[in-house]
Structure 1
Amino acid sequence: MTDLEVERLSVRLRDATRDEHERTESSPFVTALMDGRLDRQAYAALLQQSYLFYSVLEEAGERWRGDPVVGPFVSDALVRGPALEADLAWLCGPRWRSALAPLPATQRYVDRLRAVCFSSRSAFVAHHYTRYLGDLSGGQIIRSKLRTIYGLTGDGVRFYLFDDIAKPKVFKDDYRALIDTAPWDTGERTNLVAEANEAFRLNRGVFDDLGKALGVGWTGSCDR
């Protein structure tokens, strides 16, 4: 690693979150879903919980849209709310909103987003980075597996389709450059890394709760 890479916050962020990232990706729920051992209902349950925390994160994005420091991170091309709504309507029918109920871990996730993402620039970017760069990277592998295992191509997996991002790698490189060039102070740099690790832990908690719920019979409804 070069001296320049050591100085880059995006590299530090990637390296410092690697362990939490890998633990989250290897959670039993995700493993079972990607192995085809769960049905579409389990996938719909994941989208239901995702809709709840993405809604808060994207609300926070509107709070920061005009901010000179973190406003450039807010991109309409990343917004997932409408895609999640379309997927849930297709998977669960027109009354999908009536089945929305946060699992305990989802509620903790939502509470954390509301506690930090509307007041802290670095915390907002930490959660924004964790979600959206993950969607543009590992999320594309997930979409491919969902297509193979569950027969989902367009409808049902629009969450993973970024129609307005023609070149994901270029977009991700530009995003990391924003992290590196934003005028963070020392405390913000430290907080960004710490909060990104917290974001991975919160996300893993949602996966754990989904696994527990499905183990005893998922109580959420996704019937047409």
Structure 2
Amino acid sequence: MVVHERAHHSTYMAALLAGELPIAGYTLLAEQYLGIYGALEARGDELADDPVAGPFVIDELRRLPALLRDVEALGGSTAAPRLLPETEAYAARLRAADPARFVAHHYTRYLGDLAGGQVVGKLLEKTYGITGAGALFYDFSALGSPSRFRVRYRALLDGAPWDEIEQRRVCDEAVRAFELNITVLDAMATAAPKAA
């Protein structure tokens, strides 16, 4: 997927993966995630009884508790995180998501972090010496085997009661989710503190 590659190769992510940012540059990203996951998980709580969205509201996936501990350990603000306008727009989209669109965002965020996010977690340890609080966001051990979880998640997707038109809407919203993420990462390239 072209949009996935664009997210992976953004200027901000390239600098982070190369270890070229000060820790404050990563802290700002963690604060953006507070806004994004706060909105996503609040919307999930609202949709927990929905027959389409409800099965995807999986407690072991929740990232907000870990993010709160991470941001605090990194010296950021959990009470008033510094959210960029692009993050606010992304969060607004999440808060307004209908059940099918919620699933599209849920899929792109959680499964993306379960896979590619592990690279960032290892980078935080290797480059910045951060383990435990500060990098808890990337700890998915509560899920057990990631590969078994992906099989379980795929079964949920396959069992969702979507006709062809609704499937297209979900796919289109997944692309939109990547685009929103890219917009945040592009803004981070300008907003994040640079190494001295």
Name the amino acid aligned to 1:180: D
1:76 to 40, 56, 59: 59
Aligned length: 195
Q: Which runs of 4+ in 1 moved over 4 A?
A: none
Counterpart CA distance in 1 for 2:130 and 2:41 is 25
Matches within 5 A, 1:125-136: 125-136=103-114
User: Given the alignment of the two structures, is residue 150 of structure 1 paired with residue 131 of structure 2, yes or no?
Assistant: no
**Structure-to-structure mapping, 1:45-124, within 5 angstroms:** 45-92=28-75, 96-115=77-96, 117=97, 120-124=98-102
In structure 1, the partner of 2:168 is: 190
1:222 is matched with none
Under a length normalisation based on structure 1, what TM-score does the superposition of the two structures give?
0.83
SS in 2 for 1:147: helix
Q: Of the two, which has the highest radius of gyration?
A: 1
1:156 alignment partner, SS class? coil
Q: SS in structure 2 opposite 1:184?
A: coil
In the alignment, which residue of structure 1 is the partner of 2:26?
43
Is 1:24 matched up with 2:7?
A: yes
Q: Alignment RMSD, CA only?
A: 1.6
Matched, 1:139 2:120: no
Deviation at 1:101, TM superposition (A): 2.8
Task: Using the aligned pairs only, state the percent identity.
Answer: 44
Q: CA deviation at 1:143?
A: 0.8
1: CA distance, partners of 2:21 / 2:52: 42
In 2: Cα distance, 1:158 partner to 1:72 partner? 24
Return 5+ residue gaps in structure 2 as ranges.
Answer: none
Measured at CA, do residues 26 and 180 of structure 1 come closer, stay the same or move farther in structure 2, by a change above 3 Å? same
In 1, distance between residues paired with 2:52 and 2:85?
33
Match of 1:202 in 2: 180
Matches of 2:55 and 2:3, distance apart in 1? 26
Deviation for aligned residue 1:99: 4.7
1:69: Cα distance to partner? 2.3
Secondary structure of the 1:67 match is coil
TM-score calculated relative to the size of structure 2: 0.94
